[in-house]
Amino acid sequence: MRESIGAIVFYERRSARGLEYLAQWNAGWKAFHFVGGHQRVEETSLNCAIRESTEELELSADQFQIDPIPIGRLQYRSFSQRAQMETAYHTTLFAGHLPETSQKLIERNPENVWLTFAEIQQGQTEAGQLISPTSALLLQKTGRMPCAREENVLTIGVTGHRDLHPDQIPDLKVRLHNLFDDAEQIAEGRSLHLLSPLAAGADQLVAEMGLARDCRLIAPLPFQLEQYEQDFANQELTRFHHLLEESQEWFSLPEASDSSEKTSKPGSSKYAAVGRYVVDHSDLLIALWDGQRTHKLGGTEATLQYALQKKLEYDSPIKIGLFPVERTTK
Secondary structure class of 138 (helix, strand, coil): helix
DSSP bridge pairs for 286 = 158, 321
Strands 72-80 and 112-116, by their bridges, are: unpaired
Nearest to 204 by CA among 193, 196, 194: 196
**pLDDT of 258 higher than 60:** no
Band of pLDDT at residue 149, cut at 50, 70 and 90:
confident
Nearest to 227 by CA among 266, 275, 281, 280: 266
Q: What is the model's pTM?
A: 0.91
Q: What is the pLDDT of residues 178-227, one digit of tens each?
A: 999 999 999 999 999 999 999 999 999 999 999 999 999 999 999 999 99
pLDDT at 92: 98
pLDDT at 79: 67
Q: What is the pLDDT of residues 85-104, one digit of tens each?
A: 788 889 999 999 999 999 99
Which CATH code of 3.40.50.450, 1.10.10.10, 3.40.50.300, 3.30.70.360 fits the domain covering 153-324?
Answer: 3.40.50.450
Residue type at position 300: T
Which residues touch 110 (CB under 8 Å, ≥6 apart)?
25
| Cα(198)–Cα(288) distance, integer angstroms | 14
Phi then psi for residue 77, to 5 deg, are: -115, 140
The mean predicted confidence, pLDDT, of the chain is 92
Looking at the chain, which residues constitute the CATH 3.40.50.450 domain(s)?
A: 153-324
Looking at the chain, which residues constitute the CATH 3.90.79.10 domain(s)?
A: 2-141
Band of pLDDT at residue 265, cut at 50, 70 and 90:
low
DSSP bridge pairs for 285 = 157, 320
Q: Name the residue with higher pLDDT: 329 or 15.
A: 15
| Cα(10)–Cα(201) distance, integer angstroms | 32
Domain 2-141 in CATH 3.10.100.10? The answer is no
Strands 72-80 and 85-97, by their bridges, are: antiparallel
CA separation (Å) from 77 to 2, 156, 269?
A: 10, 21, 33
Q: Name the residue with higher pLDDT: 277 or 262.
A: 277
Q: Name the residue with higher pLDDT: 104 or 313.
A: 104
pLDDT at 312: 87
| Cα(204)–Cα(201) distance, integer angstroms | 6
- SS in 3 state form for 310-322? HHHHCCCCCEEEE
| Cα(57)–Cα(48) distance, integer angstroms | 14
